[in-house]
Chain A
């Protein structure tokens, strides 16, 4: 027990899986990616310095692994063919919480990968700019501009949804939100 208290990798699994899901947008791919990361981290365990941050180390390995995978298979094509399946897979658990969360996910999924990663690390995982920049291997300024672009994109999507009318998109989601808990 004391072993897992010192290096609590199991405790980081949910967050690793969340990030893998945000990157791959596909649950099975996310499981595979996390598994690859754990194997890779095991192989590289000598490079982990005990005084450094285990979570950041694992996240950085995950991010690099995803990038390498993407390069290796030129994933763009693979993902395009899988897109339909992707949406169903990912949106499914969300439906019970309300349609609007699915719409948020859709909006995030439409972001370019670099913006999605930055948004996830900072907004969802609550990392500081310094930490997120370390995971992504970019300067903090680059991270900030990715966040700003993601913010603008979500803002534009929100406004577009609103102007499209009350029946669809974000406007509907907002009305439901205002009505409150009976919807969830």
Chain B
């Protein structure tokens, strides 16, 4: 039982509870057959516990200045977390502001159609995938849809600005989910004329203004545009000239609205 000498560092690790159970048992077997080693180990355990007792108390209440500094750090870390989530948020609001101004100056968008061989940005693919997911969600009884759209809450939480939707459109579902670009927003809408459509929005690293581009691929009509730091993608299954007008209106309606 007691044959092999135990290396010092294993005794140390035993004292500090760092050993796997099997090794602990071997050490204990060694100690139980070796009085000198056991006495030394008990003395070490006692020392460790004495140190714990001497230093481990709650101590004095922290001085007030330190509590205040700690709270400030808590707030700072929380803000930092949001900044991180919103990615590079600092200069964004100013850029969005100027973006909308430029937009207003240029007047209403003209929707352009492009050939299907032009590759859309990656987030348009995301939007089409999200369209499939939404169809699936809507068909499942166990998936709870959120029909309430609180544009100001969404804006506060994700920095995504929800365009004003035509009043006749009925919101079926609102989802916020993560993407490589930060939080993205997917709104599913029953439009009547165009059936189920989705509006997908995700933040962009760079601010820009881009008029809607319409694409027809794989049975879907997509339109994507950018306003300030936000990329929008519209997905529908129909293809009718009326869609262009609707999209143009949508892209031309930056969020007025906390009143939505």
Contact = CB atoms under 8 A, between A and B. Distances in A.
Interface of A: 3-4, 6-10, 12-14, 17-18, 21-22, 27, 31, 34-35, 38-39, 41-42, 45-46, 48, 50, 54, 93-94, 100-101, 104-105, 108, 119-120, 122-124, 128-129, 144-145, 147-148, 151, 154-155, 158
B91 interface: no
Interface stretch (B71-79, B133-141, B184-192, B220-228): B71-79
B63 to A, nearest CB: 5
Contacts of B8: 148
B59 A17 contact: yes
A123 B53 contact: no
A184 B70 CA distance: 34
B40 A155 contact: yes
B51 interface: yes
B126 interface: no
A171 to B, nearest CB: 13
A124 B55 contact: yes
A31 B51 contact: no
Contacts of B70: 9-10, 12-13, 38
Contacts of A38: 66, 69-70, 72-73
A127 B56 CA distance: 13
Interface of B: 8-9, 12-13, 15-16, 18, 40, 43-44, 47-48, 50-56, 58-60, 62-63, 65-67, 69-78, 80-81, 84
A144 B77 contact: no
Contacts, number: 128
Contacts of A34: 62, 66
B12 A148 contact: yes
B256 to A, nearest CB: 31
B57 to A, nearest CB: 8
A104 B71 contact: no
5 contacts: A9-B77, A48-B80, A93-B60, A123-B52, A154-B51
A134 to B, nearest CB: 15
Contact of A42 (B16, B18, B69): B69
